[in-house]
Amino acid sequence: MTRAVIESVINEFLDSTKPEVLAISGKWGVGKTFTLQSLVQSYAGEGSLGRYSYVSAFGAKSIGDLRSMILIKTRRFPVQRDKLGKIVDETEHVFSKGRGHAIWRTITTLSEKIPYGGKQVTVLLETIAVSLINKTIIIIDDIERLGSGIAMDELMGLVSELKVESQCKIILLFNEAQLGERAKQYEQASEKVVDKKLAFLTTATEAVELGLPADTPLRDFAAPCIETLGINNIRTVQKIANGLRTVQSVIPNCTDAVKQQAAIAVAVFAGALYEGGLVSRRPNKSSATTGTQSLWVWARTRSWRFGARNCTDADF
The pLDDT tens digits for 69-91 are: 898 899 999 987 654 555 555 54
141 and 235 share one domain: no
For residues 76 and 156, membership in a common domain is answered with yes
Confidence check: pLDDT of 181 > 60: yes
pLDDT in tens, 159-170: 999 999 999 999
pLDDT of 216: 97
pLDDT score at 241: 97
What is the chain's mean pLDDT, rounded?
80
Last residue within a domain, chosen from 153, 182, 199: 199
The pLDDT value given to residue 275? 82
Q: Minimal CA–CA distance to 298: which of 250, 264, 274, 254?
A: 264
Residue at a domain's end among 141, 164, 199: 199
- Between 245 and 304, where is the model more confident? 245
Cis peptide before 213 (omega within 30 of 0): no
* Confidence band of 101 (pLDDT split at 50, 70, 90): low
Which residues lie closer than 8 Å to 234 by C-beta, 6 or more apart? 29, 30, 31, 34, 202, 207, 210, 211
Looking at the fold, whether 181 and 252 belong to one and the same domain comes out as no
Number of domains in the chain: 2
In the prediction, which pLDDT does 291 show?
41
Q: How far is CA 45 from CA 52, 88, 137, 147, 163, in A?
A: 14, 17, 14, 35, 22
Q: Which of 199, 226, 249 is the last residue of a domain?
A: 199
Full domain range(s) for residue 295: 204-315
